[in-house]
Amino acid sequence: MLEVTDRGELTDAALQRIADDEFMPDEERTHARAAVRDDEAEALAYLVEPFQLLGEVPGVELVQASWSSEQSAYDPDVEAWDLDDGEDGEYGEDEEDGEYGER
């Protein structure tokens, strides 16, 4: 999970990345700037490069990458947000029904 604490800084960083991209055609640059100003998810997309994140991970060959995001009201007190709520804090295959879940 990622929390954006300053939309302006995120947008500015993405706009700078777009401006610095010497290979981006002008028409695409214009569209990218508008998208980044409109939506934090678009701004983030211009800053996070999946191939840079995973390209050097041993045993991983990244062929194609895509992602999506959505705004969400995070509340740390809501149980649904507690991703480590298992007794031993581990997740794995459920021995009874063979499905993945909490142990």
Whether the model pTM is above 0.75: no
Tell me, what amino acid is at 72? Answer: S
d(C-alpha 77, C-alpha 67), whole Å? 27
Nearest to 5 by CA among 46, 57, 40: 40
- Residue 27 DSSP class: H
d(C-alpha 20, C-alpha 23), whole Å? 9
d(C-alpha 34, C-alpha 54), whole Å? 28
Task: Please give the pLDDT value at position 67.
Answer: 66
pLDDT means per 10 residues in the chain (103 residues)? 85 95 94 94 87 84 75 76 57 45 43
